Chain A
Amino acid sequence: MVISAPADTPRRRAPSSGVVGIFLSRPMRVVGLIILVLYLFMAILGPVVFPPSVALVANPAKIYQGPTWADPLGTDFQGVSVLAEIVLGARGVLMVGVGAAFLIVIIGVGMGLMAGFTGGFVDAVLMRITDVFIAIPQFPLLLLVATILNASSPWLIILMLSLTSWGGLARAVRSLTLSLRERDFVEAARGLRLGTRLITTRVILPNMLSYVAMNFMVSITGAIYAEVGLLFLGITPFTPDNWGVMLHEADGVSGALYTSSSILYVLSPMIAILLLQAGIIFVLGALDEVFNPRLRTGATR
């Protein structure tokens, strides 16, 4: 075996190396993009295609049916079409995921910027608080808060999810701020006596925008994980059409675990979540390359 420096051997790629080229350079990235678009459609048009008042009605005659033309994914323990449940579930999952990611980014970036740019005592206090939030196992805390607040509205869930998971981002933004602070252009801005707020918002923030954008995507996956998890545990009150609820029922009341004819019902919500997460991860890889040209293959020194 030969141990040597990483070889950035160029791979064959399309000549265009703009954003489109980066996506096209790996087929999985295109797949990821298609998946995300598909989910977006499900979230927006789902209730039009499957009106909940019709699609979600129990039908004892059709319990755990295999796939048919009418119900391509079979039916659940109440005879409801699994496909309808999956499509209708997309809106709630995406909304909470995106909403929570949005708040996480706002809190995390805010705390990180403030700590990093102010320094001193404020920094020390903010970072200790951040450390506490990083150290606390997110899920048990979430459960505690969820039961106390008896959270039923999606907004409350968004709030809880973001309050329990901004720590890592705040830390990263702080160290980014610290390193940016030392750069020439920030020095220059300070020399011009621009105010702290102006420097942070006009000079530092734009420079970490790509990092923040990446983190937004990562936070979506994290929030979806936690949200579906909460529902899976049956802690937050149900909305009937959510993948987490399907999982919860698959694990509990439905008796799905005692029969293998329920396989489509059990697998569908999982695959729905996995595809969404995979789509985000693939697109994330592409964004990473768009934002960090250094990662582009074959870049010469």
Chain B
Amino acid sequence: MSEIALSVNNLVVEFPTDSGPLRAVDRVSFELERGTIMGLIGESGCGKSTVAFALLNSVPTPGQIVSGQVDYPGVGDLLKMSDEAQRLFRWQHVAVVFQASQNTLNPLRRIDEQIRELATAHRMRDPKALLERADSLCRRLRLDSRRVLHAYPHQLSGGMKQRVGIMLALLLQPDILVFDEPTTALDGLSQESVLQIIREIHDEEGLTGIFITHDLGIVSEVADTVAVMYAGRMVERASSHTIFSGPKHPYSQALMNALPRLSGDPHLARGLRGSPPKVIGDQFKCLFRDRCEYRMEVCDQSEPQLIQVAGEDAQVACFLHGKEVERVSV
């Protein structure tokens, strides 16, 4: 079929804490096909942003990638590359539209100065060309390029800053774009216009990317495939169509309960009480069992693995599905 742009294998990220290493991402694996967008959903704190940072080997300190591979076909495993090669790889191959985009611009530099810095950092001989590209991107994003490029970040509104963030992400024509809740910090109107822009670009260019959000409505619209994370684990992965027509994992079902349109925290969704556990060390149980209405004996004895659901374009980590149930209950 089509070409793989990114394949993540058994990724583990830990943050040291008083009570031991907190496992923010636990053995996560997935593949991203070129020209598709993968939606990444899950409650706050389940490790979505951490996965995104790990894709660039930029997990915030004190976090650490403990094991796993982040393989970009044609380039290789990012984690094995030299520091300088990693630095150049960032933003040229993978760019991010940040969750807290409002504050991701250096407050003391004009936007065009920051673009020049990008040009220098990525060894471009002609920063003018980059500025021109910025100029045309601005127009595409419906930004008054002359004003915006000469402005300091504090002179721009929240929505404008977010669009500048998108502009910067598109600037070096990366292969892969990561959107980390690009609309969460915006008011309704700006949310809509930012989404509109992303949709347009996707329609025109066929983006390859990962779209992290709480808003399932957006996922159903934008994403080709969807991955659901819970407490650092990936619990379900399926094509967008499959998962929205019938989520397999009880957690996914709980998240979808409030469809068609849930803006805001899925925490509040019906059927989901309590909060996800903080995972420290190996767990030999299902992490969702305390909140699950289908809780079984196995759930306390063994940890479900992500397995292919027979006959469907879906993978799920739950004893309700697949052969696991039989094997354990023997």
Contacts and interface: CB of A to CB of B under 8 A. Distances in A.
Partners in one complex: yes
Interface residues of A, number: 10
Interface in B4-19: 15-18
Nearest to B58: A4
Contacts of B18: 10, 298-300
A299 B16 CA distance: 10
A6 interface: yes
Interface in A261-301: 298-300
Interface string B32-76: 000000000000000000000000000011100000000000000
B60 A298 contact: no
A10 B16 contact: yes
Nearest to B63: A7
B22 interface: yes
Contact of A5 (B17, B61, B278): B61
A109 B18 CA distance: 38
A300 B61 contact: no
Interface residues of B, number: 9
A4 B60 CA distance: 7
A10 B16 CA distance: 7
Contacts of B15: 300
Contacts of B60: 4-5
A8 B22 CA distance: 14
Interface in B256-271: none
A293 to B, nearest CB: 13
A74 to B, nearest CB: 50
Contacts of A300: 15, 17-18, 22, 278
A10 B62 CA distance: 10
Contact of B61 (A7, A10, A298, A299): A7
Given A5-B61, A9-B62, A300-B22, 13 more contacts: A4-B60, A4-B61, A7-B61, A7-B62, A8-B62, A9-B16, A10-B16, A10-B17, A298-B17, A298-B18, A299-B18, A300-B17, A300-B278
What 4 A-B pairs have minimum CB-CB distances, sorted nearest first?
A: A7-B61, A7-B62, A298-B18, A4-B61
Interface of B: 15-18, 22, 60-62, 278
20 contacts: A4-B60, A4-B61, A5-B60, A5-B61, A6-B61, A7-B61, A7-B62, A8-B62, A9-B16, A10-B16, A10-B17, A10-B18, A298-B17, A298-B18, A299-B18, A300-B15, A300-B17, A300-B18, A300-B22, A300-B278
